Amino acid sequence: MLHEHKYLNTLANVHQVRYNLKETQDRYNRMAGELQNKLNEKQTKCTEIEQQFKELKRSVAMNAVHSRTGKKLSAKVIKEWEEADEAKDQEVHQYRLQNIALRNRLANQEKVLKKKEQLAEGLHLIDYEQLKIENQTLNEKIEERNEELTRLRGKIINHVIMLSHTREKLKFIETQNARNEKDLAELNDRLDDTKNKLTKAKGKRATEDKKNQKLAQKTGIARDLSLKVAFEDRKKQFSSLHDENQHLAAKHAELCRIIKEAR
């Protein structure tokens, strides 16, 4: 029963508040409508007066004569004057709007300044000294932050320079690495060709040795000086190919090591 009574009282209060709000809105709407009507009447009257003033100026201009020639002004000149006058009116209108906006800003700034002055008058000396100390502390922190920012900028510049140099060095190493890989490929081809020649030479030597052994067994031709000279030439050729093979293998190993270090 008690809750029901509270509910009814609350509902009645809400209804009363809504009724008062509606009355207030209706009153403000009527006031706004009346003000809008008055504004419309003022604007209509201003437009009429402005139009009459323009017609008056046009009439005076059409009846005016030039002081030297005694001739009336042409319609083109009158139209140019009216257009210039209209542009000036628009410019004055814009300046008036700016003036109103600046006045409003000035009034707001004066209110803020007045509040600050009232607040400053209410501050005690100890509060003022405390503010000075806090301000000094903040200034010192700002200086520290500026110094740290300067150091960081210097580090960034150094890192950018180092990065640029590293990129240039990397590009140079990549180019050199590509050249070394090309040389290595050529060297591999030469090495394979030399190995093939060496294998063939070994085969020919083995064949010649077998022939020589057979000839030595059959006849004494193997002891011929020309055969010995041919054998020595073959032996020297084999030794030369063997040395060239070792040289190419050493160069191949060196290039592999350079490429591995470059990577």
What's the CA gap between 173 and 133, in Å, rounded? 59
| Interval 107-129: pLDDT, tens | 888 888 877 766 655 555 556 66
The rounded average pLDDT for each run of 10 residues, N- to C-terminus, in the chain (263 residues) is 68 82 87 87 84 79 71 76 81 84 87 72 59 82 86 84 83 83 82 81 78 64 58 74 77 74 65
pLDDT for the residue numbered 221: 47
Torsion angle in degrees (nearest 10) through CA of 24, 26, 27, 30: 160
**What would the DSSP string read from start to end of 95-164?**
HHHHHHHHHHHHHHHHHHHHHHHHHHHH--HHHHHHHHHHHHHHHHHHHHHHHHHHHHHHHHHHHHHHHH
The model's pTM is 0.31
DSSP H helices in the chain: 2-63, 75-122, 125-218, 225-262
What's the CA gap between 137 and 18, in Å, rounded? 55
